[in-house]
Amino acid sequence: MPTFPLLDVQRLESVGAVTASSHGTLCTAHASANTKATSYTELIASTAFAAQSILITFENASASTIDFLFDIAVGASSSEQIIIANLQVSIPNGVSVAASFWFPIHIASGSRISARCQCTTGAATVRVSALLFGGGFASPERHSIVDTYGAATADSGGTSVDPGGSSNTKGSYSQLTAATTRPHKGLLLAIGNQINGVRTGCAWLLDIAIGASLSEQVIIPNLSLNADTTKDMVFPQAFSFIPITIPAGTRLAARAQCSITDATDRLLDVVAYGVG
Amino acid sequence: MAWYVAYDTATGRLESESDTEIAARTGKTVLQLADRPNINANGVMWDESTRTFIARPLKVLIDRLEDIQTNPNFADFMTAYNTLSAANKTRLRNMVIRLLGSRRWRNQNEPVELD
């Protein structure tokens, strides 16, 4: 009996890997905190084929607990066009690989891909690498645009979600956007650590909802997260592409419940990336 | 930019927020604020009893260096430590600080011992 795979990847290309050091490409934030770097760091000069998706991985390079926002761009030097804006990455002290994000978006053959970032600490560094996936005959529908909802450039984080003072009870909704920019075929989520380097062990269940305030409808229920006192970090940092149709003009909000009520350690940041 | 929050009138429990005016609903109270409240760790939090945002309590961290000196489980260490000269105490203290790294600080409810 024939099989009909939903994903049919024929080619992969490594982007930004530095084989001499077994790391990704070092990317340095602006010298001023919470300010985007003025220049982009090139990850690859020219991609070999038309990619259907990209897996981006961030790796710790600074010895402290910090938050980053990344822009991933294509285009010639000084003419970069951002394709993924304000990708939120929290770097926990002492943990190597921080996060991976898979975006099912088309990147044309011959593209130059680069990245720039801002950080809660000026001139902090992080390593970036990626994999490009080329589609085969049965590749899924390709997407072209990513819209970012809930990033907070003022603190290189996301929208704060507070589960409130009652444990294991869903808290108030925090608005990620009043209206989505365009129709989306799915969402990715980044979870930020709020540069909390001393966390209490706990667990969260996170909801993503649509609809007007007080009329929210949960569309992604009970995403499981946790933190412990060793890594001092909310994990996972990323929920890769969640296929769900969201119309343009939709209000997005997030809420969570938490197993603890500590006024600081119960908090987390959320950023949503709509793929369309 | 004006911001709106809605809470349950009976319990005071905060339920939602929006940058657009929230439609009135039975049993819910809507407040208009001058700006979006900063509910980050260094910001404010909702207080159900007063129905207002109040300053979020500062995170209290315990220094494991202090634990070493005050926790009775480390009494033997302190006995030995107290035999050192001031200069050697400083050397040892600096070494312990480097050794602990980011684990120097712990939450109040976190064990003294590293896991």
Q: Are residues A87 and A181 in the same domain?
A: no
Selection from A253, A196, A191, A194 nearest residue A225 by Cα: A191
Q: Are residues A108 and A191 in the same domain?
A: no
Q: Could you read off the pLDDT tens digit of each residue along chain A, which spans 276 residues?
A: 555 555 666 799 999 999 999 999 999 999 999 999 999 999 999 999 999 999 999 988 877 889 999 999 999 999 999 999 999 999 877 666 678 999 999 999 999 999 999 999 999 999 999 999 997 665 666 788 999 999 999 999 999 999 999 999 999 999 999 999 999 999 999 999 999 989 999 999 999 999 999 999 999 999 999 998 888 889 999 999 999 999 999 999 999 999 999 999 999 999 999 999
Tally the domains of chain A: 2
Return the pLDDT at A230.
Answer: 82
Structural domain range at position A176? 149-275
Tell me which DSSP letter residue B110 carries: S
b/e for A62-85, b at 16 or more Cβ within 10 A?
Answer: bebbbbbbbbbbbeeeeebebbbb
Q: Are residues A97 and A186 in the same domain?
A: no
Residues of A in contact with B13 (CB under 8 A): 164, 172
Q: Cβ B22–A216 below 8 Å, yes or no?
A: no
Selection from A254, A250, A256, A257 nearest residue A175 by Cα: A254
Q: Reading across the β-sheet that carries A113-119, which strands appear in turn?
A: A41-44, A113-119, A66-74, A81-91
Instruction: Fill in the amino acid letter for A170.
Output: K
Q: What is the CATH number of the domain that holds A41?
A: 2.60.120
Q: Are residues A125 and A190 in the same domain?
A: no
Q: Tell me if A192 sits within 8 A of A99, measured CB to CB.
A: no
Is A35 part of the contact surface with chain B (CB cutoff 8 Å)? no
Enclosing H/E stretch for A102: strand A97-103
Q: Tell me if B36 sits within 8 A of B1, measured CB to CB.
A: yes
Tell me which DSSP letter residue B68 carries: H
Q: Are residues A85 and A21 in the same domain?
A: yes
Tell me which DSSP letter residue A265 carries: T
Q: Tell me if A171 sits within 8 A of A162, measured CB to CB.
A: yes
Size of the A and B interface in Cβ pairs below 8 Å: 97
Q: Are residues A222 and A170 in the same domain?
A: yes
CA distance A21 to A25: 10
Q: Tell me if B59 sits within 8 A of A264, measured CB to CB.
A: yes
Return the pLDDT at A5.
Answer: 55
- A65 part of a folded domain: yes
Supply the pTM of this predicted model.
0.92
Q: Nearest CB to A172: which of B15, B20, B41?
A: B15
